[in-house]
Amino acid sequence: MTTPVLTPVPADANPAVVLRAAADYIDQHGWLKGALYPEGYTSCPPACVTGAIRIVVCGRPSPDAKDRSKNQTTRILVAERVFAAHLGHTFDPDQTRRIRLAIETWNDRAWRSVIDVTNELRAAATAYDDTNGGAR
């Protein structure tokens, strides 16, 4: 499925920049539960937290690792780890599946709202900046 390329965050952006950009993306294009992107998406689809992180890093929806570079995959994983840690989850960095499952479970709660999602993405970014010396 071909989608337009959005301007991705800079390759040297820290996880806080990625998380804020994901919140902005959700504000602009919508939020989704239960999937990365809606079935049959065409351009700038609504996205779950993980889907939005992938879009802002890759500049387009990226459902599979084979759709992106190793550098993009690494940047996505780092942002996901930071967000999962903000939510109170501590995993070994190699537990990628468990990190994503924790984020997806949090995203998909029946009572979760888009405001909860964007606020927590921004709060995680601020916490990262506070701990790591500010935005880059």
Instruction: Please give the pLDDT value at position 41.
Output: 85
* pLDDT tens profile 31-57: 999 999 999 887 799 999 999 999 999
Cβ neighbours, 10 Å, residue 90: 10
- Rounded Cα–Cα distance for residues 118 and 132 (Å): 21
Instruction: Please give the pLDDT value at position 5.
Output: 54
Contact 45, 29 (CB under 8 A): yes
- Rounded Cα–Cα distance for residues 27 and 30 (Å): 6
Which segments in the chain show pLDDT lower than 50? 1-3
Tokens of 115: 């405001």
